[in-house]
Structure 1
Amino acid sequence: MTLAAGAATAPPTVPGRLVLKLLPGRPATAVDAALRALGAHGRQQKFPRALAPCLEKRGSVNLRGIYQIEVPVTLSLERARIVLLGTGVVEYVEPLYIRMPQYQPNDPLADSTLTDLAASQYYLKQIQAYRAWDVTRGDSSIVIGITDSGVRLTHEDLRQQIKHNYADPINGRDDDGDGYVDNFTGWDLANNDNDPGYDIKIVHGTLVAGVATARTDNGVGIAGLGNRCRFLPLNIYPNTPTGYFAGVEAVVYAADHNCKVINMSWGAAGGYSRYEQDAMTYAAVNRDAVLVAAAGNTNADLQFYPASYDHVLSVSGVDNKDQKSPAATYGHRVDLVAPGLSILTTYGYHGTTPQGTADADYVAVGGTSFAAPLVAAAAALVRWRFPQFTADQVAAQLRQTTDNIDGLPANAAWATRLGTGRLNVLKALTQTSRQEARVLTSTLAPARPAYLPGDTIRLAVNVQNLLQPIAGLTVTLTALSPYITVRQGTFAAGNLAMLGRANNAGTPFRLAVATSGIPLNTTATLRYRLTAAGGYQSDQYLDIVLNPDYVVLNASDLAVTLTSRGNLAFDDLAGSVGLGLTYRGSGNILSEGGLLLATTPTRVSDRLRSSGGQARQSFFSLGQATRQQPGPRADQEVRAAFQDTIPVAGSRIRSVGMAVRQRAYAWSTPGRRDFVLLEYSLKNLTADTLKPLYAGLYTDWDLPTPDGGASNAAAWDSTRALGYTYALSQQSTSTLPASYAGVRLLRGGAPAVYSINNNAPAGTPVRLADGFSLAEKFLTLSSGTARAQRSAGLPSGADVSQVVGTRITRLAPGDSTTVTFALLVATSLPQLQAAADAARNAYATLLPTRPAALAEGFSVFPNPTSGPLQLELPARFGLVSVHVINALGQVVRAQAGSGNLARLNLAGLAPGVYTVRAQGTAGVRTRAVMVH
């Protein structure tokens, strides 16, 4: 199991294209209806000829259920996921990532210490290639798939090494019936043609092919480590306007066309993809291909894909002295290393042979791109030497026969993070008594992208012995992080024959996450130590993420993610940070949500979508969101604090200038399970009185409908100040528990609501198809209830969103005000309205001294306060006295007054809620005040 959490920022993606995978045996009719609702089209089966899963090959996958779809470039990934997963027949929806070649030019002028090495293949001696060739030189039947840029097919050291497909000669027909016309010399997957040849813009493929398979014994050039083994050129980079990156497609193509080894000298940090993992598993398990990938040139410890996927040998680089290459990636996901600096290889850019044959030149290059094909070529030799080995066994043989380099002083900083050592081809071909047991899968329960303080975890593993029989195998789990305690960490797997398996599903490992003190977004490493009789020992590692910068409020039937910066459901537009909002075990139903503040069309603060697929970043955290269970007032309570930037005269800052303290409450008791309360204390940090201040919640609900179309509509209940979204066809099914969802304003000033059709045509006042501008956000907050009767989505339903807010008449410098909302989900409108009423009653119990109705014209600020308090009353109120009363009814402050203004000092009072009672000639007014 590979966890993506904690990895680097995701790589770029192909615009306007997604992939989805259908669950086995499910009809696609609902998916097609969902695609129409999204404006998507072109559902095309990615791998129609892929080999079906085989029961005898445990872990094999089905690629035939994967489809590529064309989508509007403005469609968000999370929106597509919600709608398509809501059909109940889709396993996953993902982008197509673009992975780049891992090539670093290695000029003598850039590093003079490498000048002597650049003119020779020093690395062949370093990895014992010459002696290895005395054992075997491989065979032309062993083919290495070079998935890369195009290759110079006419190069003198490559042209005789190409594996041709004689079953499909160049004649305009698909003679072998594999779906590719005239794929005689590989294929160009990126541009969908039969020319995988050289592109002058990218020479990378030629360089990689030479390292692995350059012709030997031809009296010219260099010798590829693969010797007699051949290569299949597969271009993965576009050179036409309609082309796109096709690394994954090339891997599947290579596996389907009998490549026993596949090299991937490309990749990117982060961007874990189940689609890509499925393709790797298919090639390795279904098709029994050895997958080799460059670990990357990052000089960092991180997840790098495809190298970090399961079933892939991750290869990092060293220099001629076995010292880690300066730029090479390191970490527990690296399997082994190979020379990766000053690697002399085929170039094919300038020269010609005396006979005039194009491109006979050579160049010394560096990067893990050229360490990987050395390992791929070694794998090809091992496959020929041990034809009975599976792909996993070939990988194990390579890992277990390396030369350990951790003991070198220069590598001390990277000990245990350079894999098992540096490739030794001779050992790989001659040492037949090696053992390797390996954890094949790790299953965490509950399965989450990250774990919160106090969580408990079960971990089940599946172990296989890959090489010689092993006796008394024991797997011991150790936490290499102080924030995880292993409560049960031993699994006796026993004696295992070659390819024997064992698992601990019945008695899994048990872990506990620390309850406090964990830094935000901590990656915790777990180590599996596998030991057996005779001194065998090997280590594997598993990373999990702890204490993410969000909390989940889940005491009620709603489980909602609250971030430290004002967002709901997710902390990013991609929906990758956070667990969303679910109801009674449903899938996520809120694609985006969060706090929205404004005072003018150019002064708006939020972390919501803006334009170009980006989000604004107005708010920054003042402290991590924390969850208390039970809380003093509810079964669960959350606290968070954040603020935006304070505008300065003449600056271009377009924020409001507000400090926000957020509180949230949830209950597990009957009658209070359909809502959570969100309370925001807003403090004016500027030197100006904000006249007025607008505050609201934006929610982009996506309630599922039976046909998968997410045909929603938005409406307004004026008697409750309740804005809500509903699924138009919810009456026709009882299997969709979340049919209504909304937001009720419980505390603040004058209510506001604005319902939005997300796919509204050009000319609409708020049109999200081209972004959500500051002016549009201000409009949604400042329109009051003028659009209350303009329901969005009717009559046939649409993708809708809504803003429910409030207008605070004025907020003086340093003053505070409080606005409170209820977030609600229900199965029917009466239930939603009942939940809204229950939320009002629940909030009243939080502040028991709050009057049933606030007197018009009576203002107190700042509220909450740490001491100073100012009262403003109607002009003819005739103030006589002011009393401050605690929750026990006791008067704790009193002073005389006159006119309509008064100032008090509540410093010294215990934190809590008090009632301020103003006695005047015109009557009595009371307000609730919180002292902190």
Structure 2
Amino acid sequence: MGKIVSVLVVLVMVILPSFKPIFEPKPLKKYHLPAGLTSADYLPSTLIVKFKNVSLGKSTLSVGSRQFNGTTAVTITSINPIYQFKGATLQTLAEQKSIDNAGLNRIYQVKYNSSLPIEKVVDELQKDASVEYVEPSFVYYTFDTPNDPDFLDGKQSYLDQVKAPEAWTIQPNANKVVIAIVDSGSDLQHADLAGNIYLNSSDPVNGIDDDGDGYIDNYMGWDFVGATASKIVADNNPDIPADSLDHGVHVSGLASAVSNNGLGIASIAENAKLMIIKVGADDNSRAIYKGYEGIIYAANHGAKIINCSWGGPGGGAYGQDVVNYVVSKGCLVVAAAGNSKTNEPIYPAAYSGAFAVANVTSDDVKASSSSFGYHVAIAAPGTGIYSTTNGNNYGYKSGTSMAAPIVSSAAALVLAKNPLLTGLQAGEILRITADDIYINKVGNELYTNQLGSGRLNVFKAVSASSSPSIRYQKITIDDGSSGALSAGDTVSYYFELKNILLATNNLEVSLSTDNPNIKIVTGLKNVGAFNALETKSVGPFKVVVNANTPENTNILFKLNYSNPLSNYNAKEFFTSTVNLDYQNITVNQLYTTISSNGRIGYSGANAHDGLGVLYKDFSMLYEGALMIGVSPTQVSNNARSANGETDEDFFKVKGVARVQDAMVAYEGISTFNDSKSVSPIGLLVNHKQIAYKNAPDDKFVVVEYEVTNTTNLPLNNVYIGLFADWDIDESSKNFLAYDEEKRLSYAYASTPLTPYAGIQVLSTNVKPLFYPLSYQLGSDPLYDGNFSTTEKYHTLSSGIKATNLGTGDGLDIMCVIGAGPYIIAPGKSVKIAFAVIVGDDLADIQKSAMAASEKYTKSLKVVESEFKMSQNYPNPAKKLSSVDLNIPDNGFTSLEVFDYLGRKVKDVLAKDLKQGVYTTSIDLSGLKTGVYFYRCTFKGQQKVHKMIVVE
């Protein structure tokens, strides 16, 4: 557990943005809004909550007040199901199974009152054991840009560009196919739209819900928002009241304007039906408030194509659940890729299973505003596009909002010709028949393979002969160790593939990359016969991460599918981040992470990039930061500061590396300094973490910092400590205590059957320090939400402030633990070591604390019966490196360095050593860049390792 990385791509994902190793169990992390989002990007006092069970009665979340620390934090005013599956919308057991699989019957809208920020409210509610996830009700935005009215002389030249006239000779219309326009609404009376508006004949306008679907008189569509988002009131009128809201009108005409009527414009689909679903407010021309509700409505009411010309960076689990559900019902979700000019993901387009559309100009070059990326499925014209507008008018608009409905219209034409296909299959036909826009296309050089498979060609799509379409559904990554995909590792990739279209024989799958940091060892597999809609697991594909690969390198991989006996050839891409600057430690019962900046559990702030502290499926640590202070104005640290920010004072000198041939189950090292501080002290820190596999040492990890004074003056009053924010089960029900005899701080919860966690100061040469904290207490340094430099030094230099914290049901607790004061002479260093400990109860962690203390008291020098020498670290090395020697008996020992020709270049050690384990430094100054060998000789035995030296 923890070494195999599974990245699930539900159903079909055209191209995946990025893969990083993920380890179960997944921790419950504090919620943070996506970068750049403000209160304008979500509905006020509204949350989307998915419960773990179908019955809400099994939940402890209910209408009324929720308290923490004795005060009312959140008052829930209503809990209502988002979707009511009634009557004609639930006709078969298969449909009910689709709903159950996606969990849509477990998703509720929760209204609340609270003065807390929405992130805190999410944190509070997601503690409920009955809740699967909580997230804001995001607001999305449409993607059109007004354009000059006389932009083009030929008002619908895009039809020729996508070969629509040729397609009509094969399939003239999309009769009876329903396209849902989930948008700002439409002009239901427009002469070029009215004849194609979908009418729900089962529910005429009579004030009665005739079809029992929960929507009264939804004869011409549905409005999920109404007049204003400040007071959402749904109704049965998706018609827009003003010209400023005509985004959906323009989209409607591109999807299916009435054609061959001697009036206005033509559309690719000609007479596909338009299901108008209004998800914006009458008083806001761009905001989309209820887009996902609209998508579900469309799927449940017969739409095969669902057009979403809107999106935003807020991409939670709720939207993915919705896409999963509608795709399982045979729908195609066509989504605008966005107008951000970047490859940053926009949702719903970036969701697995969505069909993302980029915007190209009339000469097939990426429009300057169009988003792009490896998740994009296809490109279509979207610049200067002429279509219907409000009040029986016409006009030009530009953007991926326009490109998407052109693709939706084409998909409808394909479905009309092939009515037994699913929407997803129709999308695949569009994708595999698109025209190449990369070869010899000036302007697209920087976007190769990031505008999808090419530009839409409707003629090819409706003319398509039988072809398979292979797409991966899941990728599993295994590096055989910590999951960091470190330099020098051999990494295995496994793929779950699905054939979306027709069967093929003798299928070959190959993995390749142009990145010089990767060597493909096993890159070709023959899959053989592959039936339609069959899923197969293929692998392993083995690659080697080169020794000099930079940290956090994103590798673009290509998967190629081909049948050498036919002309089938296809490709897709994914990225995998290798040689991470942190490593996950999973060799014993405590799962955690070593960073390159001194943090414990995570490399990034706000519980990002790492495992935290995991024990028996409990995630217990939110923040573990290093603080080193010499005065109230000088504290080098990476702990929280003010306004949700963190100090980031440490600069990585050497990224995390696992010590090869270490004497323990895991040993990792990194080096950093404090040069990023606005007031640097002048420190160089060697950071080490060590973990043991077997009891009684399998519930702790040793964390050591060797702090060197790089200045020319002595450093006095140096305090070194860790800031820890413990969240055990419900974070507001935690307690802290300090065992002075063992120098052990520990945290636990008032909730039953929850584990304990703690930090022990292993170093005994300086006075310990312990300062318990909680922002819920009025006298606390954290009460105002800030943690200033002065306050940090105060917590470091106050000795043992108290030995316990928390009364009643508990508090949200933090602490600073460490030791000091130290005096560090110029060029000299001090070491301080901690043990991070987990256990079932107090007795359990006390037992581990004793074991950790005993282990460290022996300086971690456990002598084995065999002569051993470790790989040098760091490697490659510059100026200085180290090697560990296990000397099983007293005797003469030598250590020498040779160049690649076997010439001795350095004597490192030549002396009688007593039995023990030694860490020996190798001075590499004067050695040129190259490959060297070092040899240790002990009583006629020799150990030789290669090392790389860089100048």
Superposition TM-score, scaled by structure 2 size: 0.76
Which of 383, 396, 405 lines up with 1:341 in the alignment? 383
Contact residue 54 and residue 60 of structure 1 kept, 8 A: no
Match of 1:802 in 2: 815
Name the structure 2 match of 1:698. 723
Aligned to 2:746: 724
In the alignment, structure 1 residue 142 sits paired with structure 2 residue 177: yes
Contact 2:759 2:834 in 1 (8 A): no
Q: Find 1:525's aligned residue among 529, 534, 556.
A: 556
1:418 partnered with 2:451 = yes
The residue correspondences of 1:367-406 to structure 2 (distance < 5 A) are 367-406=399-438
Counterpart CA distance in 2 for 1:176 and 1:782 is: 72
Query: Is the 1:330–1:418 Cα contact (8 Å) retained in structure 2?
Result: yes
Q: CA deviation at 1:280?
A: 0.9
Greater CA drift, 439-448 or 360-369: 439-448
Q: Does 1:675 align with 2:697?
A: no
Partner of 2:757: 740
SS at match of 1:608: coil
Residue-by-residue CA offset, 1:146-196 (whole Å, 9 max, x unaligned): 223344555554455433445445566544433334544322356452254
How far off is 1:386 after superposition? 1.9
Q: Tell me by how many angstroms 1:63 deviates.
A: 1.9
- Give the Cα separation in 2 of the matches to 1:70 and 1:574: 26
For 1:318-357, what aligned pairs fall within 5 Å after superposition?
318-348=360-390
State the partner residue of 1:121. 156
* 1:704-754 per-position Cα deviation (integer Å, ceiling 9, x unaligned): 3xxx68732111111122111013344xx4xx5x33333435257432222
Q: Would the alpha carbon gap of residues 465 and 140 (structure 1) be closer, same or farther in structure 2, given more than 3 Å must change?
A: closer
CA–CA separation in structure 2 for the residues paired with 1:17 and 1:811? 54
Corresponding position: 1:839 with 2:852: yes
Which one-letter code corresponds to 2:144 in the other structure?
Y
Name the CA shift for 1:215/1:83 in 2 (closer, same or farther; >3 Å).
Answer: closer
Please list, as runs of the form range in 1=range in 2, the aligned pairs for 1:743-762 lying within 5 A after superposition. Answer: 743-744=760-761, 746=763, 749-758=766-775, 760=776
Match of 2:293 in 1: 249
Partner of 2:688: 663
- Deviation of 1:378 after TM superposition, in Å, equals 0.9
Question: Which deviates more, 838-847 or 804-813?
Answer: 804-813
Q: Which range moved further: 681-690 or 658-667? A: 681-690
Task: Specify every segment of 5 or more residues in structure 2 that has no aligned partner in the other structure, as ranges.
Answer: 1-7, 10-15, 21-32, 863-878, 881-888, 893-905, 911-918, 924-951
CA shift for structure 1 position 566: 2.8
Query: Corresponding residue for 1:101?
Result: 142
- After superposition, give the CA deviation of every residue in 1:797-852 in whole Å (9 maximum; x if it has no partner): 33322221333265677764433222111112122122222222222333879xxx
- From 599, 609, 615, the counterpart of 2:646: 615
Alpha-carbon deviations, 1:844-897, whole Å to 9, x = none? Answer: 333879xxxxxxxxxxxxxxxx99xxxxxxxxxxxxxxxxxxx9999xxxxxxx
The answer for the alignment partner of 1:462 in structure 2 is 497
CA distance in 1, matches of 2:786, 2:510: 52
**Which amino acid counterpart does residue 588 of structure 2 have in structure 1?**
S
**CA deviation digits over 1:499-541, x for unaligned, max 9?**
341413xx63243452632322222233332223322111122
Partner of 1:315: 357
Structure 1 residues 681 and 98: alpha-carbon distance in aligned structure 2, compared to 1, 3 A threshold: farther
Give the Cα separation in 2 of the matches to 1:600 and 1:495: 71
CA contact (8 A) 2:651 2:673 kept: yes
Identify if the C-alpha distance between structure 1 residues 709 and 776 changes in structure 2 by more than 3 Å, giving closer, same or farther.
closer
1:102/1:297 contact within 8 Å kept = yes
Counterpart AA for 1:724: Y
Q: Which position in structure 2 is the counterpart of 1:223?
A: 266
Partner residue in 2 for 1:871: none
Paired residue secondary structure (2:402): helix
Specify the SS of the correspondent of 1:623: strand
1:777-788 equivalent positions in 2, closer than 5 A: 777-788=792-803
1:47 paired residue among 83, 86, 100: 83
After superposing the two structures, state which structure 1 stretch, 527-536 or 322-331, moved more: 322-331
Q: Secondary structure at the match of 1:579?
A: coil
Q: Quick one: structure 1 residues 277 and 370, their matched pair in 2 at CA, closer, same or farther if it must change by over 3 Å?
A: same
Q: How does 1:151-300 map to 2 (within 5 A)?
A: 151-153=186-188, 155-168=190-203, 174-184=209-219, 185-189=221-225, 191-194=232-235, 196=238, 197=240, 203-237=246-280, 245-268=289-312, 273-285=316-328, 287-300=329-342
Deviations 1:277-312 (A, max 9, x none): 221111111x21111112233455564432233322
Q: For 2:289 and 2:787, locate their aligned partners in 1 and report how far apart those are by CA, in whole Å.
A: 30
Separation (CA, whole Å) in 1 of partners of 2:651 and 2:192: 58
In structure 2, which of residues 459, 471, 477 is the aligned counterpart of residue 439 of structure 1?
A: 471
- The Cα shift of 1:126 comes to 1.3
CA 503–717 in structure 1, closer or farther in 2 if over 3 Å, else same: same
Cα deviation, 1:115-153, whole Å, max 9, x if unaligned, reads: 652661110111122343444454564332222334455
Contact kept? 1:81, 1:92, Cα under 8 Å? no
- Give yes or no for contact 2:618–2:728 (8 Å, CA) kept in 1: no
State whether residues 675 and 825 of structure 1, in contact with CA within 8 Å, keep that contact through their aligned partners in structure 2.
yes
Q: 1:119 to 1:784 in 2, by over 3 A?
A: farther
**Alpha-carbon contact 1:646-1:657 (below 8 Å) kept:** no
Cα distance, 1:479–1:124 mapped onto 2, change above 3 Å: same
- RMSD, matched Cα: 4.4
* SS of aligned partner of 2:619: coil
Quote the Cα distance in structure 2 between the aligned partners of 1:644 and 1:261: 55
Match of 2:671, SS? Answer: strand
Compute the displacement of 1:262 (Å). 0.8
**TM-score of the two chains, using structure 1 as the length reference:** 0.77
* 2: CA distance, partners of 1:748 / 1:29: 54
Aligned counterpart, 1:822? 835
CA 1:16–1:549 in 2, change beyond 3 Å: closer, same or farther? farther
| Structure 1: distance between partners of 2:140 and 2:685 | 40
- State the distance in 2 between where 1:695 and 1:683 align: 12
What percent identity do the matched residue pairs reach?
A: 29
What is aligned with 2:572?
540
Match of 2:508 among 474, 482, 487: 474
- For residue 215 of structure 2, give the secondary structure of its aligned residue in structure 1: coil
User: Bigger CA drift: 573-582 or 588-597?
Assistant: 573-582
After superposition, the Cα gap between the structure-2 partners of 1:476 and 1:815, relative to the gap in structure 1 and judged at 3 Å, is closer
Summarize the Cα distance change of 1:437–1:847 in structure 2 as closer, same or farther, 3 Å threshold. closer
Deviations 1:314-345 (A, max 9, x none): 22222212233334344443322211221122
Equivalent-residue separation in structure 1 for 2:267 and 2:146 (angstroms): 20
**1:525 match: secondary structure:** strand
Q: 2: CA distance between counterparts of 1:239 and 1:291?
A: 25
Unaligned runs of 5+ in 1: 109-114, 349-358, 649-654, 850-865, 868-886, 891-907, 913-927
Q: Is the 8 A contact 2:669 2:686 kept in 1?
A: no
Q: 1:831 to 1:472 in 2, by over 3 A?
A: same
Aligned residues: 823
For 1:590, which of 606, 621, 634 is the aligned residue? 621
Contact 2:735–2:813 at 8 Å: present in 1 too? yes
Whether the 8 Å CA contact 2:164–2:268 is kept in 1: the answer is yes
Deviation per CA, 1:635-681: give whole Å up to 9, x if none. 42322314243546xxxxxx666443322222224322222222223
**Structure 1 residues 714, 163: closer, same or farther in 2, change over 3 A?**
same
Secondary structure of the structure 1 residue equivalent to 2:805: coil
Amino acid at match of 1:283: V
